[in-house]
Amino acid sequence: MNQQPSSVLKVAYCLVLVAAILPFGLAESGWVGLVIGGTGLGLVPSLGPSAFICLALYRIFLVTRAPRTLDSPRATGIPAVMRALGIFLLYVGSLSAVSMWIVRPLMSVLLNARTDIGAEFYMEFYAYMAGGIGMLGLALFESSRLLAFERHAKQACMASQTKSAMLVTYDQAPQG
């Protein structure tokens, strides 16, 4: 009854999460963190990104340690389409995450000097822009799981109400 994700999907899911939290961690440790941390508020501006990083790392831990974390009931209709599209976008997002990490070293190996048109900048820029596709896939995938769980719970509730209604009707039938 449950749809169990493949290990490739779990790896893609984790890669998209790592690609989402890595810029926050780099921003907090670089000049942006120094600029934000230098305000009179101290650590307050860093709480949001820090909480996001902690939640994402916890989710990665759950996906890697608990085998049934990404399971969901089988769904039809809109949730099934959302799940398929979300999985596809998760795969594309994980590929773009890997490309984000190798574009800069690859461009420095392929090009001896900086180009006049800034090809290395545009390659990095588009790789980072494609990283958002993975987050969209993550949102679609998780939304489809939520809709499937809600539909499953609604059907279970209706089945139990029907069963209890039949028991009440049977108990109230005239004996004779």
Phi-psi region of 157 (alpha: psi -120 to 50; beta: other; left: phi over 0): alpha
Q: 17-54: b or e for each residue (b if 16 or more CB lie within 10 Å)?
A: bbbbbbebbeebeeeebeebeeeeeeeebbeebeeebe
Q: What tokens were used for 57? A: 């790392």
Share of the chain above pLDDT 70, in %: 78
Residue 171 lies in a domain: no
Residue 14 lies in a domain: yes
Helix 7-29 and helix 78-110, axial crossing angle in degrees, nearest 10 = 60
Residue 149 lies in a domain: yes
Count of structural domains within the chain: 1
Residue 72 pairs in a beta bridge with: 3
Residue 77 lies in a domain: yes
Going by pLDDT thresholds of 50, 70 and 90, the confidence category of residue 1 is low
Residue 169 lies in a domain: no
Residue 140 lies in a domain: yes
Enclosing domain of residue 66: 2-155
Q: pLDDT per residue over 114-167, tens digit each?
A: 777 777 777 777 777 777 888 899 999 999 999 999 998 888 888 787 776 666
Which of 26-30, 48-52, 67-71 is predicted with the least confidence, judged by mean pLDDT?
Answer: 26-30
Residue 165 lies in a domain: no
Q: Please count the helices (runs of H) and the strands (runs of E) in the chain.
A: 5, 2
pLDDT at 173 (0 to 100):
53
Residue 176 lies in a domain: no
26 and 62 Cβ atoms separated by less than 8 Å? no
Q: Write down the residue that tokens 């499953």 correspond to.
A: 152
Q: pLDDT per residue over 113-122, tens digit each?
A: 777 777 777 7
pLDDT at 96 (0 to 100):
86
